[in-house]
Amino acid sequence: MSTISLSSNHGVSALLDSCDVTCQYGSCVLVNEEPVCECMLGYTGETCHETINEALNVPLTLGVLAIILGSIVLFFTIAFVRRKQKVKR
């Protein structure tokens, strides 16, 4: 972290604190004079490089596959039962 002192023409000086942390999906802010990344919605981590949804990828994929497979099994079961009922008639 570096501090830059600027003087204006009117004799008023301002201190500008700059962050030296590169935040991938966010902006650097000073918290207790320490540079910290303030992440955009959906991102986390020290430099905002991790998405919150990464943890949901596998369970979500498995859930969708289970629904698809369940629908296929249900379809074939219904078709099998109807065929048996037609043979009995």
What pLDDT does residue 55 have? 67
Backbone phi, then psi, for 21, in 5-degree steps?
-105, 130
Mapping DSSP to helix (H, G, I), strand (E, B) and coil, where does residue 34 land? strand
Q: Does domain 1-48 have CATH number 2.10.25?
A: yes
Number of H helices, E strands in the chain: 1, 6
The model carries a pTM of: 0.42
Is the predicted pLDDT of residue 32 greater than 50, yes or no? Answer: yes
